[in-house]
Structure 1
Amino acid sequence: MDHPARTSRRRLLGGFAAAAALPLLGTAAACGDDESGGSTDSNKPVELSIFWWGGEARAKLTEDALALYTKAHPNVTFKKTWQANQGYFDKLATLTAGGDAPDIFQIDDNFLAEYASRKVTLDLTEYTSGSKLDVSKFPPSLVNYGKVEGVLAGLPFGENTQGLVYNKTLLAKYSLPEPTTGMSWEQHIAWAEQVSKAAKLPGTMDPSGNYMAFWVWLRQQGKGLYNGKELGFTADDVTRWFDLWAGARARGATPTPDVIHEGNESSITKQLVVTGKAATSWVWVNQMPEMKKSTKDELGVIAFPGDPSAQWARASMYFSVFRGSPNKDIAIDVLNFLGNDMEAGKILGTERGLPSNLDVRKAVEQTVTDAAMKQSITVQGELATKFGPQSPEVPLKGHSKIRAELIKASENVVYGRQKPADSGKAFFEFSKTAIAS
């Protein structure tokens, strides 16, 4: 599964520590031979190091897929390291800064620009022009979401998009209508108010601190979170966003401040929609199966409110190759294998999101038996037909700081510590500094 929709502030602060270590990374990367791809001798023993985050299930599937590669290439073995999401980027920064970076490492869009801008990640562009790294079966927008300033810094290993998850069982109990894709934001809030009154339960989690919701809302107005190397929004935009949800809270459509804070801090298995503290939560579509494990209620998932064409095929995560790796060509071959081999794809399944290779995805979909996963795949497929032609570029460096600060700024409004305009201005100024630092 993807990392939690609302990563805790503690984890993001840990990410800041990782980012602080990054100025050392360019030096470490430069120690490697950037031109040499390593030995092409098919008999020479090679051990590639690979590092990823995730649980035991992901580890087992990844190890099985790597074993399949070794079976086809007996001279290549792997030094496999994995850990939980918490602290992963601290460890990655430490390894890389110390000159002990893994040949292949998992990364997400919070940190891809950070590492790429310091030349830690290998530019994969030249490999995709031939047969070494085949992306011909990948959705172009998904490949583009791995580019930083035109350089392909990571190969997408899973497609995802934003999803509004709601409690179908609760709605049926009170004979309430289900929300639908295409509802305006105002219609969604009115629907949530109706749910709150009938079910005596907040109709929707307050997403004013959710960067995904804010980003989609901006794109529906022709703007964005980023625009090139600049911010894509103004302080007035943030104020209007905070005002929208201040109005929703005043109508009783959202939870109380302490419960909103709980929703902002909680892991995916403890989102308000599964703990029974709200009728909806704002997450990633592929997180549905994980959420379903935490409730006996039936869940539904639709697009975020507003025009769904503002949503996009987002890479749930990537694999990047260390620029200083002495075995670049072999590392590239491993990525090509994991991303395009049919048997490897069936082993990896949907654990990192829908397979990027569309042929592999189709084959994997036919093997899925889990009802929640089938639902997730179906909804992702339906929403993909509604995506607009333009997907955003991967977030700028400083994105993880902006994510955490949006939660802080929104909670200042939620708790009445600041007015929407004051908090909106403060968040805007912070964001300008974050992307410039």
Structure 2
Amino acid sequence: MERRLIFRGLGASAVALPGLAACGTGGGADVELSDEDVTLRMTWWGSDLRHGLTQEAIEAFQKEHPNITVKTEFKDWTGYWDALATTTAANDSPDVIQMDEQYLASYGERGTLLDLADAEEYLDTSKIDESLMDSGKVGGTQYAVPIGAGVLTLVANADLFAQYGVELPDDSAWTWEDYAALAAELTEKSGGAISGSGVTGGFDHGSVRYWARQNGSDLFTEGGDVALDPALLVEQWEFFLGLMESGAVESAAAMVESINGGVDSGNIATGKVAMGNAYNTMISALRNASGADLRLLRPPLKEGGDEGLYFKPSMYWSISSQSEHPAEAALLIDFLVNSEAAADILKTERGIPANTAIRERVSADLEEGDQLALDYMNSIEPGPVSPVTPNGGSNVDPMIQRYAQEVYFGEREPAEAAEAFVAELQGEIDAAK
């Protein structure tokens, strides 16, 4: 298969997004409801399942607020950030924006997001965990409301385990060595019909951060610089290169094909691997796409290492500082995070709800996939929250993917690539200061 580069995060246009002053809010004076009909634009990324549920929730909001029409714009992760950067730079950003931790500082520090303190009359955050709310701040300013929380997981296809006579692991104590042996056993017993595992590390910031945290480090410092020791990235890459060579995990070409396929058409959904990494909140979409009995496992542990898992804000809602209707935008976000009507529709699709009352409500009546996501999260004793991705660091995922592909395709030595990655990432952060 011909190699295709994967860029799931910001492209060049997003990196070059110019500084824009916040506009239209006047320190809160202009955040007032209109007496006339209002049209809002709202954007998000996600699977087909998310699109359908969000549209249903918007319809419920419009019934309660008949003077507000919500026009939706949704994409997969691949094109979302380029589109948002383009519209923002053109002073035409959607009013309500689904935001990710990886990009929050980048957009917040450019003045393109509304200070939500200006809209507090229309947006109640009193029932959201304080620690999660703080994760939506940049420089002390609240630019985002966390929708929910998620945690890294390893997805196991129990149907494939059973088909090839392999027991699911005890994930409370298994190590990376156990994982490697299990992946090799699955590949061998299937006769190569499947790969024991997808590549579950070294090509995205979540897996790199998990590896670093288990080694007493992290990806970024609290001060906004790169914390990652290149030697840890070399260690992770060399581990998976060995598994690729042995056939225990998929090839580099298969990895690229899977990531380009997204949640609905990736290697887990299509049953090409027995194990793969994800966040717990993706389980319903993965189960719906695969039709398989998928389980959530704790990722392998490092022998004697630190706790690598932490509760990551799954995503946020933000309001554009360019919005002509920030009050109505705040009402829409308030409905999505606080109303029982929205909760009954959305449940845990965007994460275990940050609103504690809503979390309790949805936990009483969940479908199997949602219950798996909640049970998994409840089983984890997380470590401290990781520092937010600094301004200039938003390009971290496509950057990691670029270097990981060079390493996994044998085009560059791990040590050279790791040093270059850290230097390039720090350079982008320094340039944004």
Interval containing the TM-score (normalised by the shorter chain): 0.7 to 0.9
Q: Cα–Cα, structure 1 residues 185 and 434, in superposed 2: closer, same or farther, change >3 Å?
A: farther
Report the CA distance between 1:77 and its aligned residue. Answer: 0.7
Structure 2 counterpart of 1:299? 294
Report the CA distance between 1:290 and its aligned residue. Answer: 1.7
Instruction: Tell me how far apart the structure 2 counterparts of residues 56 and 421 of structure 1 sit (CA, whole Å).
Output: 39
AA partner of residue 57 (structure 2): A
- Retained in 2: the 8 A contact 1:182–1:308? no
Structure 2 counterpart of 1:50? 42
Structure 1 counterpart of 2:314? 316
1:419 to 2:406 alignment: no
1:167 to 2:153 alignment: no
Deviations 1:243-286 (A, max 9, x none): 22233334432223322333343311233233333221111112
Equivalent position to 1:204, from 197, 204, 220: 197
Q: Cα–Cα, structure 1 residues 312 and 141, in superposed 2: closer, same or farther, change >3 Å?
A: farther
Q: Cα–Cα, structure 1 residues 65 and 269, in superposed 2: closer, same or farther, change >3 Å?
A: closer
Instruction: Tell me how far apart the structure 2 counterparts of residues 151 and 240 of structure 1 sit (CA, whole Å).
Output: 38
Unaligned runs of 5+ in 1: 1-6
Unaligned runs of 5+ in 2: none
1:19 to 2:15 alignment: yes
- What number of residue pairs does the alignment pair up? 419
Structure 1 counterpart of 2:364? 366
Instruction: Tell me how far apart the structure 2 counterparts of residues 35 and 107 of structure 1 sit (CA, whole Å).
Output: 22
Instruction: Tell me how far apart the structure 1 counterparts of residues 117 and 220 of structure 2 sit (CA, whole Å).
Output: 23
Alignment TM-score, normalising by the size of structure 1: 0.85
Q: Cα–Cα, structure 1 residues 181 and 132, in superposed 2: closer, same or farther, change >3 Å?
A: farther
Structure 2 counterpart of 1:238? 233
Alignment TM-score, normalising by the size of structure 2: 0.86
Structure 2 counterpart of 1:252? 247
- Retained in 2: the 8 A contact 1:209–1:264? no
Identity within the alignment, %: 28
AA partner of residue 387 (structure 1): P
Q: Secondary structure at the match of 2:102?
A: coil
Structure 2 counterpart of 1:3? none
Report the CA distance between 1:193 and its aligned residue. Answer: 2.5
Report the CA distance between 1:381 and its aligned residue. Answer: 2.9
1:32 to 2:30 alignment: no
Deviations 1:387-414 (A, max 9, x none): 12x1013222344422112222222222
1:346 to 2:337 alignment: no
Instruction: Tell me how far apart the structure 2 counterparts of residues 289 and 186 of structure 1 sit (CA, whole Å).
Output: 29
AA partner of residue 178 (structure 2): Q
Q: Secondary structure at the match of 1:93?
A: helix
Report the CA distance between 1:67 and its aligned residue. Answer: 4.5
AA partner of residue 320 (structure 1): S
Residues 103-114 of structure 1: pairs in structure 2 closer than 5 A: 103-114=95-106
AA partner of residue 154 (structure 2): L
Structure 2 counterpart of 1:432? 426
Instruction: Tell me how far apart the structure 1 counterparts of residues 215 and 179 of structure 2 sit (CA, whole Å).
Output: 17
Q: Cα–Cα, structure 1 residues 261 and 322, in superposed 2: closer, same or farther, change >3 Å?
A: closer
Q: Secondary structure at the match of 1:170?
A: helix
Residues 1-400 of structure 1: pairs in structure 2 closer than 5 A: 9-12=6-9, 15-20=11-16, 22-23=17-18, 25-27=19-21, 29=22, 31-38=23-30, 40=32, 43=35, 45-54=37-46, 58-74=50-66, 76-85=67-76, 86-125=78-117, 133-179=123-169, 180-201=171-192, 202-206=195-199, 207-227=201-221, 228-306=223-301, 309-369=307-367, 371-383=368-380, 386-388=381-383, 390-400=384-394
AA partner of residue 198 (structure 2): M
Report the CA distance between 1:119 and its aligned residue. Answer: 1.1
Q: Secondary structure at the match of 2:69?
A: strand
Structure 2 counterpart of 1:406? 400
Instruction: Tell me how far apart the structure 2 counterparts of residues 262 and 247 of structure 1 sit (CA, whole Å).
Output: 20
Report the CA distance between 1:40 and its aligned residue. Answer: 4.1
Instruction: Tell me how far apart the structure 1 counterparts of residues 280 and 218 of structure 2 sit (CA, whole Å).
Output: 21
Instruction: Tell me how far apart the structure 2 counterparts of residues 358 and 26 of structure 1 sit (CA, whole Å).
Output: 35
- Retained in 2: the 8 A contact 1:161–1:313? yes
Q: Cα–Cα, structure 1 residues 405 and 326, in superposed 2: closer, same or farther, change >3 Å?
A: closer
AA partner of residue 91 (structure 1): A
Deviations 1:47-74 (A, max 9, x none): 4443333466545543443444454455
- Retained in 1: the 8 A contact 2:33–2:328? no
Q: Cα–Cα, structure 1 residues 324 and 271, in superposed 2: closer, same or farther, change >3 Å?
A: closer
- Retained in 2: the 8 A contact 1:69–1:337? yes
Q: Cα–Cα, structure 1 residues 342 and 238, in superposed 2: closer, same or farther, change >3 Å?
A: same
Q: Cα–Cα, structure 1 residues 244 and 150, in superposed 2: closer, same or farther, change >3 Å?
A: farther
Q: Which moved more, 1:216-225 or 1:358-367?
A: 358-367
Q: Cα–Cα, structure 1 residues 54 and 191, in superposed 2: closer, same or farther, change >3 Å?
A: closer
Q: Secondary structure at the match of 2:9?
A: helix
Q: Secondary structure at the match of 1:253?
A: coil
Q: Cα–Cα, structure 1 residues 132 and 293, in superposed 2: closer, same or farther, change >3 Å?
A: closer
Q: Which moved more, 1:104-113 or 1:191-200?
A: 191-200
AA partner of residue 35 (structure 1): G
